[in-house]
């Protein structure tokens, strides 16, 4: 434009529109992160037995702090950055819950996403190969151990 300065008066309205859209995105991302936190808490509660109430309480406390952080986050990048710590916290507490009280049992833990990676299956041959690869990974990981925990 030869003279863009005439349109300066439009800026406040455009900035308001951008802010509204950003708020919608922020709210959607916040709900997504809070859902992840709730799912992690639910998994911990389902995994725990009555004797592990102390671990569950610590996990609830940690996830409640994460939830408050998510509720107060004012940037999408802050919410995106919460995903990995939430996943790590979930794995940490699930692992604590799955540890057996028998010291003579050799236990190994593996993450579910390591065993079952995301793939695109296009035909029956791919479908047949996928579980075979999963089985191979599980057998390799269990080799030399008594118990394999998948978290």
Give 101's DSSP letter. S
Q: How many CA atoms lie within 13 A of 57 on its CB side?
A: 5
* The pLDDT of residue 146: 82
Handedness of CA 81, 83, 84, 86 (dihedral sign): positive
Query: Residue 108 has what pLDDT?
Result: 80
pLDDT score recorded for residue 71: 96
How far apart (Å, rounded) are the C-alpha atoms in residues 119 and 126? 9
Looking at residue 51, what is its pLDDT?
Answer: 87
**pLDDT mean values, one per 10 residues, the chain (151 residues):** 84 95 96 96 90 92 96 95 93 81 73 83 92 91 84 75
Residues 66, 82: contact at Cβ < 8 Å? yes
CA 46 to CA 38: how far, in whole Å? 12
């Amino acid at each position: 434009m030869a003279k863009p300065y005439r349109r300066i008066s439009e800026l406040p309205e455009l900035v308001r529109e951008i802010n509204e859209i950003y708020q919608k995105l922020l709210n959607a991302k916040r709900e997504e992160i809070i859902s992840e936190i709730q799912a992690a808490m639910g998994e911990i509660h389902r995994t725990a037995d009555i004797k592990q109430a102390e671990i569950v309480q610590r996990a609830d406390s940690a996830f409640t702090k994460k939830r408050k952080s998510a509720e107060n986050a004012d940037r999408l990048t802050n919410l995106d950055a919460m995903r990995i710590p939430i996943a790590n916290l979930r794995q940490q507490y699930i692992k604590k819950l799955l540890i057996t009280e028998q010291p003579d049992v050799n236990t190994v833990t593996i993450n579910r996403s390591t065993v079952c990676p995301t793939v695109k299956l296009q035909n029956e041959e791919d479908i047949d190969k996928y579980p075979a690869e999963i089985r191979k990974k599980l057998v390799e990981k269990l080799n030399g151990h008594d118990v394999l925990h998948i978290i």
